[in-house]
Amino acid sequence: MGFFISDRGLELKIDLINDVAPHYGEFNYDPVLGKIDSLRNILSNKISALYRYEPKDIADIWIICKNYKCDFNEILIEAKSKEAGVDALSIFEILSTFPAEKINLVKWKNKPDHKEFYSDLLVIADDIFYGRENSLFKH
């Protein structure tokens, strides 16, 4: 179940889920939205769902990786606990062959530069394949 919040021409989709898979990371609390999932758990969910080939999933992974420090070896183990077929090679192939022009299918507040987006996807793909720390995170 989900809903949309609109403000000044911008629309945000909020998905409500009842996750029965293992959960990783601590929940956060927002005074307006209530209990919010951790970036760690969202990232492992998004990686386990990459087989859907949804541009929004790729965009979410990119945004999380730019803003969240993590160890991809751990994230991949967590994703495998949610979806048995997850493996580093297939995730690498999905991310490294994603058609960059498909980012236009995502409704962006600030659309990223195609070259930067695709270059970053290759970094994420390599980090996942080699089980490294997220090198896209710079904070």
pLDDT surpassing 90 at residue 54: yes
Q: Is residue 43 within 8 Å of 59, Cβ to Cβ?
A: no
CA 22 – CA 31 distance, rounded (Å): 25
Domain range for residue 123? Answer: 38-129
Tell me if 7 is assigned to some domain.
no
Instruction: At 53, give phi and psi (nearest 5°).
Output: 55, 40
In a domain, 19, yes or no: no
Task: Find the mean pLDDT for residues 61-72.
Answer: 97
Structural domains counted in the chain = 1
| In-domain check, residue 98 | yes
Asked if 66 and 95 count as a contact pair (C-beta separation under 8 A), the reply is: no
Mean pLDDT value across residues 61-67: 97
The pLDDT, as a whole number, for residue 58 is 96
pLDDT of residue 9: 78
In a domain, 30, yes or no: no
pTM: 0.82
The pLDDT, as a whole number, for residue 18 is 56
**Is 2 a domain residue?**
no
In a domain, 15, yes or no: no
> For residue 1, is it within any domain?
no
Specify the pLDDT at position 117. Answer: 94
- pLDDT averaged over every residue in the chain: 89
Q: Given a cut of 60, is residue 19 above it in pLDDT?
A: no
Is 59 among the domain residues? yes
Let me know: does 50 contact 94? Beta carbons within 8 Å. Answer: yes
